[in-house]
């Protein structure tokens, strides 16, 4: 369970406060961030496979959604021995989860119904994952919501909900997983799914709350990359462009789809499978020196 919240100092106590100092790794062989071992005379095919190998148990939040399920499949293809899906309603994807079990019979695959904004529930879910699967070695945070509304008309309750799920929910999950990794002493990775909406204002739809919630993830990623590297934990973000999923379908959004494609050098939206390369890279042995980075996967839309 998480520790009780610390009290913020009162105004009179500010002059006597003690501010903690960040500790960085020294990068030595005995640290949690050692240089890689050079292996000579390996079989080329095996070396290629090892380079993008994924180890251990990976948690995927929002894993019952389209993007989450495709990412789960890719992580298992590259060697993850355990997969835990956190989702509000994993039963909605039971058929797809069962298919993963058939495709990867040697992997331990499970799902938990959990709300990413519930600190106690997430802490308990991470502990259960570690008990069930032996360890927690990484997390990919897909869980999120979007709302398109004129900011003049937006209820503040909607603003709070979007930031609570997208930003605070990601922190809650990262913190719980990082605490488990520190207890294990094994390190691992954290990947937040941000968005091109974190980099620029979307057009033509207004969605200030979503954009702010994703921009906050970029800074959160950088802070955690600095603070947690000494534990062997790498923290990065992926910023997808418009992906061709059910969330972006329907006649009511047809004009928007035309505009998004017209403003993209690639002339189209992305396929969910086109996000998996970034997911695997950040989770794999090839990503051991990638920390605090943001990978934009948008077909080039960000150049405009």
Active-site position among 170, 197, 213, 214: 214
More confident residue, 35 or 250: 35
Residue-wise burial string across 14-36, b where 16 or more C-beta atoms lie within 10 A, e elsewhere: eeeeeeeeeeeeeeeeeebbeee
pLDDT tens digits for range 100-158? 999 999 999 999 999 999 999 999 999 999 999 999 999 999 999 998 999 999 999 99
Domains defined along the chain, listed by start: 48-297 (3.40.50.720)
Q: Given pLDDT bands bounded at 50, 70 and 90, which one contains residue 18? A: confident
Q: What would the pLDDT profile of 159-193 be if each residue is shown by its tens digit? A: 999 999 999 999 999 999 999 999 999 999 999 99
Quickly state the pLDDT bin for 260 (edges 50, 70, 90).
Answer: confident
Residue 16: band (very low, low, confident or very high) from pLDDT cuts 50, 70, 90: confident
Does residue 219 contact residue 171 with C-beta atoms inside 8 Å? no
| Tokens describing residue 299 | 């077909």
User: Which whole number is the average pLDDT over 204-223?
Assistant: 96
Q: Quick one: tokens of 106?
A: 């040697």
Check whether 1 has a pLDDT greater than 60.
Answer: no
In the set 81, 135, 170, 195, the catalytic residue is 195
289 is known as an active-site residue: no
Say what the pLDDT of residue 244 is: 84
* pLDDT tier for residue 267 given thresholds of 50, 70 and 90: confident
Mean pLDDT of the chain: 93
Query: What pLDDT was estimated at residue 214?
Result: 98
pLDDT at 166: 98
Tell me if residue 210 is catalytic.
yes
281 neighbors 52 (Cβ within 8 angstroms): yes
pLDDT of residue 7: 67
Catalytic: which of 81, 135, 170, 210?
210
Give SS3 for 57: strand
Cα three-residue angle 135-272-174, rounded to 5 degrees: 30
pLDDT at 81 over 90: yes
Note if 214 is an active site residue. yes
């Amino acid at each position: 369970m998480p520790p009780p919240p610390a009290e913020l100092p009162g105004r009179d106590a500010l002059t006597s406060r003690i501010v903690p100092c960040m500790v960085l790794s020294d990068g030595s062989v005995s640290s949690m961030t050692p240089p890689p071992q050079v292996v000579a005379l390996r079989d080329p095919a095996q070396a290629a496979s090892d380079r993008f190998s994924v180890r251990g148990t990976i948690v995927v939040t929002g894993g019952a959604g389209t993007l989450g399920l495709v990412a789960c499949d890719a992580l298992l293809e590259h060697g993850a021995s355990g997969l835990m899906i956190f989702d509000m309603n994993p039963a909605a994807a039971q058929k797809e989860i069962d298919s993963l079990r058939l495709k990867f019979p040697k992997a331990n695959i499970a799902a938990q119904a959990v709300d990413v904004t519930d600190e106690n529930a997430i802490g308990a879910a991470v502990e259960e994952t570690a008990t069930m699967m032996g360890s927690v070695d990484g997390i990919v945070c897909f869980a999120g919501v979007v709302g398109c509304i004129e900011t003049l008309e937006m209820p503040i309750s909607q603003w709070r909900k979007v930031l609570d799920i997208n930003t605070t929910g990601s922190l809650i999950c990262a913190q719980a997983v990082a605490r488990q990794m520190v207890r294990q002493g094994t390190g691992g990775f954290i990947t937040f799914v941000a968005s091109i909406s974190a980099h620029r204002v979307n057009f033509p739809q207004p969605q200030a709350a979503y954009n702010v919630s994703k921009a906050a993830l970029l800074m959160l990623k950088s802070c955690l990359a600095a603070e947690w590297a000494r534990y062997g934990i790498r923290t990065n973000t992926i910023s997808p462009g418009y992906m061709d999923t059910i969330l972006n379908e329907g006649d009511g959004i047809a004009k928007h789809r035309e505009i998004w494609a017209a403003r993209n050098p690639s002339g189209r939206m992305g396929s969910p499978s086109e996000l998996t390369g970034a997911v695997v890279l950040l989770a794999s042995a090839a990503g051991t020196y990638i920390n605090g980075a943001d990978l934009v996967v948008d077909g080039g839309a960000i150049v405009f």
